[in-house]
Every structure is written in C-alpha cells, then in structure tokens.
Amino acid sequence: MSTALLFPGQGSQTPEMRAQVAQVRPDLLELAVAVVGSDPFLRVDEGTAFAQPAIFCASVAGWTAMGSPTPEFAAGHSLGEIGALVAAGALSERDGLELVALRGRLMQRCGETEGDGGMIALLGAEAAQRAEEVAGPHGLSVANDNSPQQVVLSGPRSALEAAERFAKELGLRAMILPVTGAFHSPMMQPAVPEFEQALAGVEFRSSSTTVISAVTAQPFDDVRARLAQALTRPVRWREVMLELHARGVERFVEVGPGRVLTGLAKRTLKDVELVNV
C-alpha cells in the first residue's frame, strides 16, 4: 500500500500547535521567531504574515514526531507545498521557513494594497461542477478546488454579494470568507516578482519522493516556477487527490495542525485509509 504525506495550508491552525512545536522542535520555534521578527504563533490571527510560518513550523514538527520519514509521495495545500518539499528532502528547513515567511508577508501586503479583494466559499453536491458558472459572470476566479463539494472563489470584494446570491439561486450554499485579500487570483500578481527573486537564490535538490504540485496536479517539474505561479493560480486540490490515488496511493497521512485535508479527502475519495498526525 502506497502512502502520501499531506501538508495543510492556511486555516488549519489550532490553539495547541505552539505547545506541540515547543515540545518537539524548540529549535524550530526559536528560528521562526528570528525569521519572522516575533513569535508567529502569538499573532496567527493577525494575518498571513504570521499564520503561514506558524502552520509550516507545526507541520514540520508533526513530520519530525513521525521520525522525519522520506515519503514515497507527498503534496501540500497552498503553503503546504513548501512543507511537502522539505519532507521530500528537496529543500532545507531553514530555506523553507524563510520562503514561507516571505510568502506570508507578500500575500498580506498585496491583499492590503491591491484594494478590495475577497473570497467566497461554494458548498454543496454540485460545487465543483458549477463553480465556473458562478465565477465567470462576476469577474471571480476559482482559488481553491478543494473537493467535489467545496470550491473557493477569489476576486473583487464588490462582486461577492452578487455571486453569493447567484450561487444560492443555483442551489448551492455560499459564504463570504473573512480574509484580507483575493488569494490565488490575478490580484496577487504584485507579490510574484519579489517571491521569484527569493526562489532564485534557494537551492532545490533532486528527490526520490514524488511531490505533486497543486498548480498542475502533476509531479513538480520546475519547482521555482510552480511555487511562484501558486500565488496567482488555483489550488487544484481535488485533482491532486485523484492523481495520487491514480498512482496507487491508498493511505493518506495529514501531517500538521487540524484535520482540514482529512475532511476534504473523505469527500473526494472512497475506500482509502486516512490518518492525522
């Protein structure tokens, strides 16, 4: 039975994750404080600049608690891709943390400076099927294709209420999310150049692990290009799960805080083993 390690993205934070990192990886907690400039765990609710490095550290600590295995397969949701690359041995922990911290700062700054960006979740049996039908007429983009029953759209905040009404007319449930930007949409483009510059200075090593990109739903090819594209392109998580399953993965281990990815896997795949670390 093939196993894949799954690394969560933003929104997976839990109250106890700081204590777990302090117990398992006190060195990583100390490094996070130095890289971020303050304790990110104490400021998780202040935005992506703090939530992203905190979740990354919690995920790496979870992987450490497992014995730091080199998996056959791995994947990450949004910022979780960087954790997956660390577990694969393709990226050092320090470089991963520095990239995540920069990514979080750039996304937060972009959300604050690029006007009224926002996100709306579509829920229901036909969410994935009808997402484009809601997005297109309202100038929105698919940001997260999470499962057949959950898709998140991103774009101008001024369009969200009309999109919410239209989605409900189609029989979907819709919920405007309390976020500060239109993440995973073209509105994040101003964050890309500086992130590309940082990626150019980072060493990525070859790895025996097959890491599936959430941008392409295929194994990473050009890692730097895909990580930069992930800022403005959708997270194709439903397709990532289907691709892993097609490659023979029958056991999925969520490494990190929360159980978000475990829940999405239940809605996407049948007859697989799901484990949460």
Question: What is the pLDDT at residue 277?
Answer: 84
* Mean pLDDT along residues 35-44: 97
In the three-class reduction of DSSP (H, G, I as helix; E, B as strand; rest coil), residue 90 is classed as coil
- Residue 114: the pLDDT is 74
pLDDT attached to residue 116: 86
Work out whether the CA dihedral 68, 72, 73, 79 comes out positive or negative.
positive
Least confident of 107-116, 182-191, 219-228, 237-246: 107-116
Q: Is the confidence at residue 115, as pLDDT, over 80? A: no
> pLDDT of 127-159, one tens digit each?
999 999 999 999 999 999 999 999 999 999 999
Spell out the domain ranges in the chain. 2-113+185-276, 117-176
Residues assigned a catalytic role: 78, 184
Say if residues 209 and 138 touch (Cβ distance below 8 Å).
Answer: no
- Cα 126 to Cα 72, 168, 196, 211: the distances in Å are 33, 12, 36, 29
Q: Residue 133: its pLDDT value, please?
A: 97
pLDDT at position 180 is 84
199 pLDDT higher than 90: yes
| CATH code of the region 117-176 | 3.30.70.250
Bridge partner list, 173: 123
Task: State mean pLDDT over 30-47.
Answer: 97
**CATH 3.30.465.10 is held by the domain 2-113+185-276:** no
Give burial (CB, 10 Å; 0-12/13-18/19+) of 277.
Answer: middle
The confidence score (pLDDT) of residue 8 equals 98
